[in-house]
Amino acid sequence: MALSTTIYNLLEDQYKIELGNQYFYTALGAWSKYYGYDAAAHYFYSEAHGESKHAKWVRKFVEDRGEQFSFAPPTYTAPNITDYASMFTMSMEQEKNTTAHVNLIYGAALQEKDYIICKCLKPLFSIQYEEEKEITDIVSKIISRGGNPNDTNAAISAFNADPAAIHDFECFLNKKYN
């Protein structure tokens, strides 16, 4: 069964988003590496690797339906990285936007009764759910250490201004993800 133009275009967009995420996390990893935050660098480079796998899955959804996959450049705007903690809040936004787009494809596939695509999307959904939850927990940890859960910006600033907070957080990342 051929893919509808709508689903095809949405999958191509998803591929571009996943590739863009790969570039995004690579940029965060490179910034972390340069400033000596090795645990964050390892975390972001691992995320970048995961994103390239998601892009391949999406390409395979298209190819498994007998469609020619047209390679599209990533949806990518270089992140403006100014400090340690903001890399994690930016990552949370990135993941939320990615989840929203997977939801969009699922909704379109349901509407068209394209249940094969619905089934294909399930592993992408579960990984997306885990990633969004993980980064949300990480951001909560940063904000609570920063000291003011009702004022995210103040908490982020306080966290960045406290070398011990960054050091402890690097230890946490190292222990959990290395």
Site string (99-128) toward Fe ion, x via CB under 5 A: ------------------------------
Quick one: DSSP state of residue 65? T
Question: Cβ of residue 98: shortest distance to Fe ion, in angstroms?
Answer: 5
State the minimum distance, in angstroms, from the CB of residue 51 to Fe ion. Answer: 5
- How far apart CA 89 and CA 12 sit, in angstroms, is 26
Cα→Cα distances 106→53, 102, 109, 135, Å: 19, 6, 5, 23
Taking residues 42 to 61 in sequence order and writing x for each that binds Fe ion by CB under 5 A, - otherwise, the string is ---------x--x-------
Q: Is 66 exposed, middle or buried (0-12, 13-18, 19+ CB in 10 A)?
A: exposed
Does residue 16 touch Fe ion according to CB under 5 A?
Answer: no
Q: Which is nearer to Fe ion, 135 or 139 (CB)?
A: 135
What are the tokens at 140?
């909560």
The closest residue (CB) to Fe ion is 54
Name the residues that contact Fe ion, by CB under 5 A.
18, 51, 54
